Amino acid sequence: MVSSFGKPCRALSDAEERCSQHEQFNACIGKFRQELVAYFMRRLPCPEEAEDLAHEVLIRVLRCPDLEGIVAIRPYIFEVAKNAMIDRGRRGRARCESSHEPLSEMIPDEDHAECERTIMARQDIECVRSGLLELPDRTRSIFILRRLEGMRHQEIAGNLGVSLSTVEKHVRLAMLHLKGRLESRA
């Protein structure tokens, strides 16, 4: 490039050079990224770690001061990949990674616990509902009036025309039946 004064324009040629290098690197990423991920996937148990190492290799290649001087880029990239694996192994040994426990198994997940409590509550409700349907009609009616409607024993006895002890007996029988159903489920 030539400036308006007839001298070479250095800033423009530097920008073109950087643009050219950027395009070359994007082409390199597109060509070798999947190969690198596959290479690391064959050697590592964790797909996320394979992605991270592939990214690290591409960054190391980009930072190479003499990138244009490399004649065979593919062997160079996989040599860098091999070195990245060696470095990873060294880091792992230095940090005793083989004896680490994953935190996700040690720390309870609140969302999971909340979901589990909700499911258990729904199961308890279904167990009580089906247990109520197993009760005789009179026992079920007395229990519902007492526990769900909040009526007192004397009111229930007066409304149904039964004795107070009969109401108490039916409430006790319903409670024992439902308790047994819930305990058998657990």
* Contact residues for 175 (Cβ-Cβ < 8 A; gap 6+): 143
pLDDT at residue 6, as a whole number: 46
d(CA 183, CA 43): 50
Mean pLDDT of the region 72-100: 82
* 11 band by pLDDT with thresholds 50, 70 and 90: very low
pLDDT at residue 151, as a whole number: 92
pTM for this model (two decimals): 0.42
CATH code linked to domain 131-185: 1.10.10.10
Look at residues 155, 186, 157, 182 and name the one whose alpha carbon lies nearest to residue 169. 157
Cβ count within 10 A of residue 56: 17
Q: Vertex 148, ends 136 and 133: CA angle to 5°?
A: 30
- pLDDT at 3 > cutoff 70: no
What are the residue ranges spanned by the domains of the chain?
Answer: 15-99, 131-185
- pLDDT at 74 > cutoff 90: no
Say which DSSP state 2 is in: B
d(CA 58, CA 36): 9
Tell me, what amino acid is at 5? F
* Domain spanning 15-99, CATH architecture: Orthogonal Bundle (1.10)
157-178 pLDDT, tens digit per residue, is 999 999 999 999 999 999 999 9
**Percent of the chain topping pLDDT 90:** 29
Which structure tokens are listed for 91? 């880091």
d(CA 82, CA 89): 11
